[in-house]
Amino acid sequence: MADLPPQHPTTIENIPGELLSEILIRVPAKPLARMRSVSKPWNHLLSQPSFIKYHLHLSLHNKKDEILLVLLSGNYDDLFSITTHSSQSPRLELPDFIKPPAIPPSANDNLTFFGSVNGLICYGFRTPSDFIIQIWNPSLSAVLTLPPFNALDGFIFNDSTYELHFRFGYDPKTDDYKLVKLMSFTLPPVNDPGMTYFVQAKRCFTRVVNDVEEVEVYSMRNGSWKLIENRLPLHVREIVDEEVVCVDGQDGILHWFGIVSENGWLSMQTIVTFDLSVESFGEICLPNSVIGRYWDGLGVYGGKLCVMSFNKRRDCEVWVMDDYGVAESWTKIRMFSDFGDDKDPYGFTSSNKFLFSVYWSETDYDHLKIYEPGTEKVESFKTMARERYCTKIVRYVESLVWVAPAN
């Protein structure tokens, strides 16, 4: 064998950069943030945007466990505002791995979650004097309070003339996180004769935004709000803000169902988009056979925009837009047959598990269910309020993402 006596094995004195990256990239976000203090080269490595992106990429593609956060808005005495569901440890308790943000007790009853992307969660609440908006990274326990937004002349928060709607997303083109604020007039009463039945039904459980008066965008990178001149496409009368599973952000485009006025009737006919990089509205066609149907939901399936829609037999069809923005590429990929009146489709998790709710008349609550396509098992994990806009389901993503606003 050897012609020289074996040497005592040496240990690596200075870990080469490549090996160090490969190790640190596998450390969870919170201890990593702390490890910036180990040394200057470590701080340099851990602060590099390329490192943070690669770390995020591994978190997003970690298929081993998928932890869902169910965020409830508003005041529900018997429900926590945040609960978790983990496919590996279903009984995972929230405080075991993240600390919920500190919200003033007086604001508990009006906390609203706006959305989540890349491990950041955006929400707002009202205090006696202000409307506070924060961006929270639960894996870092970091919270950023946004500066106040502009308000129309004479606007006051308890004024019932206006309503505020928010959407949060990520723009990969500018590598920026943005919050879009829509200010609209408060809706006319539900029994408006100009509405079809399903639009009325939708109004009971969802938030509809009409006649957008003002659009403002907050950029996390700039640390400031900016008024936008762009408005919804003219023929779109209203947009529906109801998505339970956050569908925004990855591709830099926000999506809403759009209600169009046709011969004096309002019906669900289009998808309204907002491109976060150029900050303007646009439109995407729905699949032809879906237009004008009774009840739909928007979602993401396998990274693609999808629509969940009921046919006349009350089967829930799932349509996927294969080629983003190309109307001809809508494809019906699956059907949940005989989806009863008591059920409501919410969307898909990142591992394509199907989330839906079942209404229990005894309790007057919806029960959240998750369907695993591989095993065809359905699991129940949460009761929730009937109003769709009160619930957001987001994936918990280990993330170092934090954009310190410009000074």
* Contacts to other proteins by CB under 8 A: 1-4, 6-7, 9-16, 18-20, 22-28, 30-31, 33-40, 42-43, 140-143
Q: Within its chain, how far is the Cα of 233 from the centroid? A: 23
**What's the CA gap between 185 and 238, in Å, rounded?**
11
Which residue, 293, 193, 182, is CA-closest to 241? Answer: 182
Which is closer to other proteins, CB of 30 or CB of 181? 30
Q: How far is the CB of 23 from other proteins (least distance, A)?
A: 5
For the bound state, the minimum distance from the C-beta of residue 145 to other proteins, rounded and expressed in Å, comes to 13
Angle 281-282-285 (CA atoms, 0-180°, nearest 5)?
Answer: 150
For residue 89, the minimal CB distance to other proteins (Å) is 17
Nearest-approach distance from CB 115 to other proteins, in angstroms: 21
Strand, helix or coil for residue 88: coil
* Residue 9 or 374 having the CB closest to other proteins: 9
CA–CA separation, 341 and 135 (whole Å): 37
Least distance in Å: CB of 4 to other proteins?
A: 5
Task: Evaluate the CA torsion angle 249, 250, 253, 257 in order and state its sign.
Answer: negative
Measured torsion, CA atoms of residues 142, 147, 150, 155, in degrees rounded to the nearest 10? 80
| Closer residue to other proteins, CB minimum distance, 57 or 235 | 57
Of 143 and 406, the one with the shorter C-beta distance to other proteins is 143
Taking the complex as a whole, how short is the minimal distance between the CB of residue 9 and other proteins, in angstroms? 4
Shorter beta-carbon distance to other proteins: residue 47 or 380:
47
The alpha carbons of the chain give a radius of gyration, in whole angstroms, of: 23
Count of Cβ atoms closer than 10 Å to residue 10 Cβ: 6
Nearest approach, Cβ of residue 236 and other proteins (Å): 41
What are the C-alpha distances in Å from 368 to residues 245, 289, 316? Answer: 12, 28, 17
Any residues with CB less than 8 A from the CB of 88 and at least 6 apart, and which?
64, 65
